[in-house]
Amino acid sequence: MEHSCVVLDDAASSSVPQVSVILTIRLLMQGKEVGSIIGKRGDHIKSIRDGSGAKINISDGSCPERIVTITGNVDTINKAFSMICNKFQEVCTLNVLLLR
């Protein structure tokens, strides 16, 4: 995991500078799993990016496994990861219903 710190100095708000930590996490995923995150025409990944505020990059499809890189502060990463997990849950539920 990579991280960096940025000190935001706003003397008007307090005497203690605020620290904004930027993190990067990487998820190793199968190609078919990534497809459910991307969605048709990239609709799902755009929604996750917009809804979370995190920067999300997905490696190219030249290998069976792909890397999903999520960068942002703790809140945006948590939100993006939660949205990705929710999308997987939707896909799994739909697959179970289709198998019945």
Instruction: Say what angle helices 43-52 and 74-99 make with each other, to 10 degrees.
Output: 150
Cα–Cα distance, 59 to 26 (Å, whole number)? 11
Sheet with 18-30, edge to edge strand ranges: 2-8, 18-30, 65-72, 55-58
| Banded model confidence at residue 48, pLDDT cuts 50, 70, 90 | very high
Answer yes or no: is pLDDT of 8 > 70.
Answer: no
Place of tokens 């809140």: 75
Using one digit for the tens of pLDDT, what is the confidence trace for 65-93? 999 999 999 999 999 999 999 998 998 88
Confidence grade of residue 97 (pLDDT, cut at 50, 70, 90):
confident
Residue-range domains of the chain with CATH = 2-99 (3.30.1370.10)
CA-only gyration radius of the chain, Å = 17
pLDDT band at 3 (very low <50, low <70, confident <90, very high): low
